[in-house]
Amino acid sequence: MVNLLFAYGTLMRGLPLHHLIARRAEFLALGSVAGRLLDLGEYPGACPDREGRIRGEVYRVQSADLLATLDSTEGPEFPRRLTPVRLDDGRKVRAWTYWFNGSVRREVPIPDGDYRRHAAVHLTGGASWPA
């Protein structure tokens, strides 16, 4: 079983849903996946796209129960799929990633693929997220 998770949105450190993984997954590295990131309002959504990159964090998941909890939290519009991840140190791994498969008619693109930076400017009025 693959026990790595790529988090690109509210599951990342210092963001609203990180508490779901904080004591049940170990942060390993920063990295990116091929795709485009969308601002869906209260959270982002990742869509496969070979042209763009999405920044995020890679975690080692300590139990399959955590993935089941996250599957339920993410819901049917965010199916989990194994995805190639390029770590910042150049290594490549495969990690579970939640991809958005809902309607993309009104969503706002996040051109640089970095939700933390986008949220700090657009959702907090320029204030930094707590670490």
Phi, psi torsion values for 117, nearest 5 degrees: -65, -45
pLDDT above 70: residue 70 = yes
What is the CATH classification number for the domain harbouring 18?
3.10.490.10
Identify the DSSP state of 55.
E
Residue 128 forms part of a structural domain? no
pLDDT number for residue 124: 56
pLDDT above 60: residue 129 = no
Residue 85 forms part of a structural domain? yes
pLDDT above 90: residue 95 = yes
Query: What domain count does the chain have?
Result: 1
Residue 32 forms part of a structural domain? yes
Write down the residue that tokens 């970095």 correspond to.
Answer: 114
Residue 12 forms part of a structural domain? yes
Give me the mean pLDDT over the 80-100 stretch: 98
Residue 129 forms part of a structural domain? no
Q: What is the pLDDT of residues 21-64, one digit of tens each?
A: 999 999 999 999 999 999 998 999 999 999 999 999 999 999 99
Give me the mean pLDDT over the 71-84 stretch: 97
* Model pTM score: 0.92
Residue 127 forms part of a structural domain? no
Phi, psi torsion values for 130, nearest 5 degrees: -65, 150
Residue 109 forms part of a structural domain? yes
Residue 18 forms part of a structural domain? yes
SS3 string, the chain, reads: CCCEEEECCCCCCCCCCHHHCCCCEEEEEEEEEECEEEECCCCEEEECCCCCEEEEEEEEECCHHHHHHHHHHHCCCCCEEEEEEEECCCCEEEEEEECCCCCCCCCEEECCCCHHHHHHHHCCCCCCCCC
Domain that holds residue 47: 4-122
